[in-house]
Amino acid sequence: MKILAIESSCDETAAAVVEDGRRVLSSIIASQVETHRIYGGVVPEIASRMHVEAISGVTNEALRQAGLGLEDVDALAVTYAPGLIGALLVGVNFAKGMAFAAGKPLLAVHHLRGHVAANYLTHGDLQPPFLSLIVSGGHTHIVEVNSYTSYRVIGRTRDDAAGEALDKTARAMGLPYPGGLHLDQLGKGGAPQAFSFPRPKVADAPYDFSFSGLKTAALVKLKALGLYDAVDAKTKQDFSAAFQFAVADYLCQNTLRAARAGNHQTLALAGGVCANSVLRAEMQRRCKAAGIGLYLPDLAYCGDNAAMIGAQGYYEHQAGRSAGLELNAVASLGIDAAG
């Protein structure tokens, strides 16, 4: 089954063709990073307008690279939640129009389910049940993936997401957007133990996170060091390495605690932050020591892309879940509430 997928939840306009939920025939992404860099972050109105400008060309290119016409695909999949509402609406309405015009089924895909499904594109042997840590700029969840379309959230952030803490700390250090990427590059070769940061605990919720305090601690230390102005390169390198290690250590601690408590032998990382080299290395090391099988998506599928939406769309279709032309975008929706 060939699915044409569309993703426009934030600042990437993407389209892809995926076969049987596992094989990528094409994957096209139009990035808005250079446009938003001058503002230090994503401007929703600008993002929406750029999606309108790019979506038709991106979709046509995805079909061209797959060697297919619209008549050759079996269904269309689109991200409908969560995300920037204006950006989501562009993709949802475009996909609805194409599905109606071509007489094809329309599949509504939750963005976070798509991130989990990115692992199916990289690992042909992975199948539920397994535990997943989903980490991105807006979300940090520990989720039991009981089936391809059934999820249970057992841990979540109570305030900031891990990616948000990384990005805001990077911005405070004067690094360009996207901050997390530049923080990762700067920290290579730095000393993770050069600075200490807290690992906040949430009362009666051993798998929940609170990154607000961790971020604030970083900003206080930065102000004391004077990194807003000028500090030697080695100190910046060490600070970057230490903060990233603190975030990775916090994520690993809670996730592996949840894995042990639930007797989970398989863990899959998902979301843009799982491209972070420190997190990947720490999770690999600790999972190996604990005897837990770890799955990491290919770096090409960590960030927002349409291939992951096509992968999850296949399994939504297999579960008999299709959407009608009344489908609307939803800015906020839990992964366990979708469908």
Q: In this predicted model, what pLDDT tens digit does every residue of 104-133 receive, in sequence order?
A: 999 999 999 999 999 999 999 999 999 999
Residue 233 CA from chain centroid, whole number: 30
Place of tokens 């993703």: 7
pLDDT band for position 226 (50/70/90)? confident
Q: At what angle do helices 233-261 and 211-225 cross, to 10 degrees?
A: 170
pTM of the model: 0.96
Q: Is the pLDDT of residue 308 over 90?
A: yes
pLDDT band for position 145 (50/70/90)? very high
Predicted confidence at residue 337, as pLDDT, reads: 85
Measured distance CA(79)–CA(109) in Å, rounded = 5
SS3 306: coil
Residues 248/276, Cβ–Cβ less than 8 Å: yes
Instruction: Tally Cβ neighbours within 10 Å of residue 34.
Output: 8
Tens-digit pLDDT profile for residues 34-60: 999 988 889 999 999 999 999 999 999
Amino acid at 241: A
Predicted confidence at residue 339, as pLDDT, reads: 56
pLDDT band for position 289 (50/70/90)? very high
Q: What tokens were used for 20?
A: 């049987």
pLDDT band for position 243 (50/70/90)? very high
The structural domains of the chain, ordered by start, are: 2-116+303-318 (3.30.420.40), 128-300 (3.30.420.40)
